[in-house]
Structure 1
C-alpha cells in the first residue's frame, strides 16, 4: 500500500462551515468531513508504519489496494480502524494497564485488517494473526471462534482458490465466501439496511471488532439471532422517526453513520451511548427502552461525530495558559467537566433539544413526556451556554459556534410549553444543579468558621465572607444526579400516579438507583411529604447531598420558607458545610430549614 502520495489540503467552504456552526450539516458537508478523515487515517497509518515494521501484512494490504482500492478504502474508513490506529499509536508512547492486550496483539490487529482486505479482494495468501481468547476478529467481516485456551496467541488466515480458513491450536474454521453468512465457528458481522429505497440507512451492527467500544477495546461478544432481530426492528422504527421528523439529519446520517455497536440494556430512562473522535462514523449504544429513545441517541451521537470531524480541521479553543484544570458545570453529567468537554456536550445537547422541539409537535406525539424533555434540555443547554459563550479561549470558529447556538436556544426558550411540564422541567434542572453544587463545591473554610461563630452568637445574618466564591473539588462519589428527572419520566410515561401513598414512594424510589423516598414524593407533586422525608433523611445522615438538594425543591414547590428555598437552590453547599461544622462543634444538628433561612438573609 502506498503511503507516499501527497494528501490534499482540506477546507470547509463558508456555507458548509456555517451549517456545522449552527449544529446542522447536510450530506455535502459530511462528505467533506469524511474526505478529511480519510487523509487523517492515512497519516496515522503512515506514522505507525514509520514506527514499527508491519511486515507481510503491509505487503498484503498493498496488493489488496492494487486489486480492489475500494475495499481498502472501506476498511480504512471503518470507524473501528480509526479507533485501533489511535490506540496503537498511543500504546507505543504510554504504559498500558495490566489487563490490556499485549502490545504485539495490539499491533498485530493490523494483520487482521490486511487479512480482511485480502479476503474481500479475492486474493490468495497466508498471514499470521493474533488470537484473542480463542477469537480471531476480521474487521468488517466477522469473527472466528476456535477452541484455544491461551488468552493471547497466534493463528493464521489462509485463502486459496476462493476458499478461506482460520487456523489456531490445531483447529480450523472455514470462512464462508462471501463471508456474510454464518457457519460452524464463524460469526458474521451483520449489515443492516432500514428505510425505503433512496432514503435507506445502511449500517454495520458490530458485535465482534475489539475496537468497537470507546474509549477502551473489549473482546468480541457475538449477539444471538434474536438480539440481532430485535435491534433491527428498533433501528427500523427509530429511522422512521428520524426520516419523518429530522429529514436533514437523516440525509446526512445516511452518508456518515457507518457502524452501531450494541451493548446491554441499562436502567430505564438511563441509556448509555458513546462516540469517539478517533472513530468517525461509529456509535456505541445500550439497548434502548423504545425506538424514540434510540432516535434521540442517534441524533445525540451524530452531533458528536460532526463536531469531532470539525475539530480535526480547526480548533474551537486556544491552548490553555495555565496547567491547572478549569472545571465547569455540565447539566448532563455527574462530574465537573473541562472546557473542551463542556463544548462537546453543548453541541450534542443542542441537537437533542432540536429533536424534542420537532418531536413534541409531530402528529400523534404531543405527549407530556415530549414537552418535558424539550423544556428540560433547552433549559440545561442554555445554562451551559451562559457559562462559557464569551470565554477568552474561544477561537473565531468556537465563538461563532456558541453564539449561533445561543441564538437558537433563545428561540427555543421563547416557545410555549404546557404549565405542568414546564414546571417539572424547571424543578429537575434546579435539582441537578443543586446536587452538583453540594457534591463538588467547597465554601472557604474560614468563612464557614465565621458563620458558625455568628450563628452561635445569635447574629441576625451570616458574615459576608460566606459569599466568596466556592472552590470546585471534584467528588468521585457523585453519581445518579438525574434521579429526580428519572422519577418524573416514570410519572409522565403513565407508570406512576400523580400522588403516591407512602409505600408507593418507597417502591418508586427503589427502582431508580440513587433516588430517595423524598425524590419520589417530589416527582409525584407531594411537596409537603417530600419535605418531611428529606428532613428525616438529614436527621439520620446529615451529609447526604441528595437530601439537601431535594429539600430545596420541596421548599420551592411548596412555597414555604422562601429565603431557605432560595439559599438551598442557589448555594446548598453553604448550608451543608455550616450544618456539618455546627454539628461537629456543638454535637447538636441545627434545624436545616431554619439554618438555610438564616444563611439566606442579607449578610451582615
Structure 2
C-alpha cells in the first residue's frame, strides 16, 4: 500500500488517519515526490526479483490519492511499470473517495490497468452521517456522479467495488440497498477501527477484555440483517465480508485481512518513503505502525522480518491463547489485528469485536447448513474442509483410471472455478477502449448478478475456455485477434438467451454465419454482425441449430458449429442430416456397449461429457482427439463399425480427466519440460506430461480391448486379442518409465502406483501365445529403433 498523498478533501469523522491516536501525517509531505516515487519503485522491483515473485499487488492510497493529480499519478505509474514489469506482473489498484474521479483519471487507469475501489457508506442518509466536506456539505451527489462515470461501458472493467464502513446507527437494509443501487461488481463492509481502549461507537455498555465473548452483539445483529437480505436476494453480487467468512469455513483463503488465518503480507509506504506496518494500527497509539525504516536506507526484506510484521504470518500461533482455544478461530482468525489492542497487553488479545464475530459466524454457518451447503454441521468450525477438496478414496479412483459420478463432478466444479477466473481475466485484460467489447462485458456482468445459472451454462461449454485462453494469450502477446475480441458479444448474447432477457444484442459473423455458443449458428447477411432479440430462442433464425446426441441417461451437443472447436486437428465441417443420424446411431451403440461391458467408466462419462466434436474420418484407424483447455469435449472420427464409438469415447475422456487432474494437482516437477522419456507407442521422446497423459489414456484403451476380445467373434476376436496384448505391455512399460523418472512428486508417485495397481492384474490374464510372442518382438524392435534414433540425435547435437 503506497500513500501517494497524505491529505484528504473530505473530513470523515471516523477516519483512522486524521481522527485517531497517531497524528504523524502532519509532518509528512502532502504528495509523493518524484525521487521518492523512483526509490519506491526500485525497492519493490528489488524485492520481487530477489524472491522471484510472479505478481506484486500495489494499492495507491492516502489520504485521498487522486489529490496527487493526473500528471504526477501518470509519472508514478510509469515509474512502477518501468522498474517492476520486467521482473513481475503488476496488479494495480487505487482506493478513493471518488470526489475527483474524472475521464482523464479513468483513461490513465485504463492505460495502466488500475482497478478502482470507492468508499461509500450506503444510501444518502447513511453516507452523510460521516462522509462530509469540511464545511459540513454532503459528498453523496459528487460520489454518485463519479460512480455513474465509472459504470460507463468503457470504464466498467476498472470498477473493483464499494467499501462501506459500518455504523450501527444506520438502517442496515437501507445501507445494503443503497450500495446495490450503485450496481457495483462487489462490495465490502468493514467495522469502525476500534480497540479495547477506544471501543466501537454505539455500544450499549463497555466491553470487558477479560470476558471477550460477552457483549451486546450490536454489530453482529447489524451484519446479520445485511447477510439475511443478501442471502434472500440470491447473493446478487459478491459481498466480501460474508464470502470471506464462508470461504474460511470451508478451508479456502478468505481474501480479507480481517477474516481467517491466512498470512498477511502487507507493507505500507508513506509519502516520505517511510516503511510502516498496516496503517490502521494508527488507531492504537502514536507510532504503533512505525518501523524506523525507509526506502532510501532499507530494503523491503528488512521490514519483512520485524516482529510486528511476522506475527501476521504465523497463522494460529499469531493469535492470543484465548483465541487459540475458540471454536471459530479458523474462521475469524482472532479478528482484525489493530482491533486487538489493549493498553498494557499490546495486541495479544481477542478482537474488541470478539462477541460480534462469533455470533455472526455462527449465524452464517447455520444458514449454510439450512441451504444444504454445509452437510450436518451446526457451527462454523465443523464445516467441510474445502470447497474443492477431494477425498483419499476419490483421488485413488482417479489414479486407478476411473472415477465415479461424484468424483468427476468434483473435477467439473473445479474446472468451472478455473473458467470463471479466466473470464475475469478477459474482463480485466481485454481491450478496454473497444466499445463493443466493453458493452458486451457489461451485459455479461449484469447477467452474472441477476441470472448466474445462465452465465454458468455458457461457461460450462468446453469451447468457451478455448476462446478465453486464445484471447488472453493474444493480449499477452500484445496483439489479440479481432475475432477473439468480438466473440465476447456472442458469449454475452448466448447468456442472455439462456436467461430469457429481452435484449437486442449483436453477434459477430464468421464465414457467412454468426456462431452462437450452445445454440448453433444464426443466418447472416452481408454485414459483419447480426442483431438478435434474446427474449426467446424461438425467434432466432438458426441456420445451423446445435444438434444433440442422446443415449440412455445422456444428452450432449454434437458440436459442429462452434468456431473454437477447430483447435481439434481435422475438425469436420457442418454435418448433413444423414451424417448426423449415423452419428446418433453410433453414439447410442457406443454408450450401450460401455453400460454393458465397461460400467466403471459410464457414470463418470455421463457426468463429465460436455460435447462430441465430429472429425474427418480416417479409414485405417479410429481418429480421435481432446484439448486440454476444452474440459468435457471429445473429438471423434467414425468408421463403419458402430462399436468404434465406444473406444474413442473412453480414450479421449481419459485425456479429459487427466487434463483436469493436472489443473488441480502437481504430479510432477513442472520444470521438467524436456522431451526425454520413452513412450512405447511413439517414435520420439516425450516430455513427462505427455507420457503421463498418454499412459492414463491407454489404461482405458487397454481395458476396452481386454473386454472387447471376450464379446467379439471370429477374426474380430483375434484382432481384439492382439490389441489387448500389445496395449497392456505398452501401458505397463510406460508406467515403469514414469515411476523411474525421478520427476514425480510424492502425489505423482501415489498416482502412478494407482495406475500400476490397475494394470498389474491384466498382465496375468491368459492370452494367445502367438499374440504375446508377436507383441514382445514388436516391443523390442520399437525400443531398439527408438534408442538408435536418440543416439543419432545426441551425436548430431554433440
Verify same fold: TM over 0.5.
Answer: yes
| Contact residue 213 and residue 261 of structure 1 kept, 8 A | no
Report the counterpart of residue 189 of structure 1 in structure 2: 546
Contact 1:115 1:157 in 2 (8 A): no
Cα 1:233/1:215, change in 2 over 3 Å? closer
Question: Does structure 2 conserve the Cα–Cα contact (< 8 Å) formed by 1:261 and 1:283?
Answer: yes
Q: 2:698 pairs with 349, 357, 379, which one?
A: 349
Alignment partner, residue 90 of structure 1: 473
Distance in 2, Cα, partners of 1:145 & 1:156: 8
Residue 415 of structure 1: aligned partner: 765
- Report whether the alignment pairs 1:360 with 2:709: yes
Tell me the CA shift for residue 215 of structure 1: 5.5
Secondary structure of the structure 1 residue equivalent to 2:684 = coil
Q: Note the alpha carbon deviations across 1:524-580, whole angstroms, 9 max, x for none.
A: xxxxxxxxxxxxxxxxxxxxxxxxxxxxxxxxxxxxxxxxxxxxxxxxxxxxxxxxx
State whether residues 390 and 399 of structure 1, in contact with CA within 8 Å, keep that contact through their aligned partners in structure 2: no
Aligned to 2:588: 236
Structure 2: distance between partners of 1:95 and 1:391: 38
User: Deviation of residue 204 (structure 1)?
Assistant: 0.5
- Counterpart mapping for 1:191-590 below 5 A: 191-195=548-552, 200-214=553-567, 221-268=573-620, 270-320=621-671, 325-362=674-711, 367-442=717-792
State the shift of 1:76 in Å.
0.7
Distance 1:303 1:2, change over 3 A: farther
Uncovered stretches (5+) of structure 2, i.e. residues with no partner: 1-183, 187-236, 253-386
Q: Deviations over 1:152-199 (max 9, x none)?
A: x7313220764xxxxxxxxxxxxx6176xxx6x71101012112xxxx
Deviation at 1:21, TM superposition (A): 1.2
Structure 1: segments with no counterpart, 5+ residues: 97-101, 163-175, 446-470, 474-604
Contact persistence 2:505–2:532 (CA under 8 A): yes
Deviations 1:353-375 (A, max 9, x none): 12222222347698112211110
**Cα 1:217–1:93 shift into 2, 3 Å:** farther
Runs of 4+ in 1 over 6 A off after TM superposition: none
Whichever of the two has the greater Rg, that structure is 2
Match of 1:77 in 2: 460
8 Å CA contact 1:327–1:472 kept in 2: the answer is no
Whether contact under 8 Å (1:194, 1:202) holds in the other structure is: yes
Query: Match for residue 121 of structure 1?
Result: 499
CA contact (8 A) 1:44 1:85 kept: yes
Residue 127 of structure 1 contacts residue 158 of structure 1 at CA under 8 Å; is this kept in 2?
yes
Answer yes or no: is the 8 Å Cα contact 2:549–2:584 preserved in 1: yes
Q: CA deviation at 1:289?
A: 4.1
Change (3 A) 1:319 1:289: same
Give the alignment's TM-score, normalised by structure 2.
0.49
Cα displacement (A) at 1:37: 0.9
The Cα shift of 1:22 comes to 1.2
The CA distance in 2 between the partners of 1:177 and 1:66, in whole Å, is: 25
Contact 1:262 1:284 in 2 (8 A): yes
Q: 1:339 to 1:78 in 2, by over 3 A?
A: same
Kindly state the Cα deviation for residue 217 of structure 1 after the two structures are TM-superposed: 11
Q: Is the 1:316–1:397 Cα contact (8 Å) retained in structure 2? A: yes
Compute the displacement of 1:145 (Å): 4.0
C-alpha separation in 1, matches of 2:576 and 2:591: 22
User: Matched residues in 2 for 1:339 and 1:289: separation?
Assistant: 35
1:177 aligns with 2:529: no
Q: Distance in 1 between matches of 2:782 and 2:440?
A: 52
| Equivalent-residue separation in structure 2 for 1:87 and 1:443 (angstroms) | 34
SS in 1 for 2:664: coil
Higher relative CO (CA 8 A, sep ≥ 6), structure 1 or 2? 1
Task: Name the structure 1 match of 2:531.
Answer: 157
- Give the conservation status (yes or no) of the 8 Å contact 2:711–2:717: no
Secondary structure of the corresponding residue to residue 191 of structure 1: strand
By how many angstroms is 1:313 displaced?
Answer: 1.3
Q: Give 2:416's aligned residue.
A: 38
CA contact (8 A) 1:210 1:217 kept: no
